[in-house]
Amino acid sequence: MDIYKWYRISRWLYLHHVPVIPGMIKALIRILWGGVIPYQAEIGTGTVLGYQALGIVIHKRCIIGSNCHISQNVTLGGTSGIYEVPVLGDNVSVGAGANIIGPVHVGNNAVIGAGAVVLKDVPDNCIAVGVPARIIEKNEGIK
């Protein structure tokens, strides 16, 4: 079964106040795929977690829009002392090994390059690359 389906099941159970089982599914995902996909995170429909979410770490308060693609070994996490965590819009593509850290908003149709470290907001329709990430292109035609 696809890891996203496991996430959806655990999320549904969590939202319907079923105890224990969502945590067991989260642990199973951790053991089998080496990723952390918490049932508390909001992940939109149609989102793809690349390579069965191998090494993906998502903070439990993250919000991920619909139809996103998150490649392997990506971290969407918080930073010490700051409550806010990353929020990704719809149709966002995040390359392998990228890190999006802290109170960052990534706009709709944005592309985050492989290995990028995103510490600042990325507007809609932009491509961000590098360490730290910087905008290299803004294109209203990106889909």
Quote the tokens at residue 121. 């907001």
3-class DSSP assignment, residue 87: strand
* CA–CA separation, 39 and 142 (whole Å): 31
Per-residue model confidence as pLDDT tens digits over 50-93:
888 899 999 999 999 999 999 999 999 998 889 999 999 999 99
Average pLDDT, the chain: 93
**pTM for the full predicted model:** 0.89
Residues in Cβ contact with 72 at an 8 Å cutoff, skipping those fewer than 6 apart: 50, 51, 53, 54, 55, 56, 96, 97
Per-residue model confidence as pLDDT tens digits over 108-136:
999 999 999 999 999 999 999 999 999 99
Per-residue model confidence as pLDDT tens digits over 21-44:
999 999 998 998 889 999 999 999
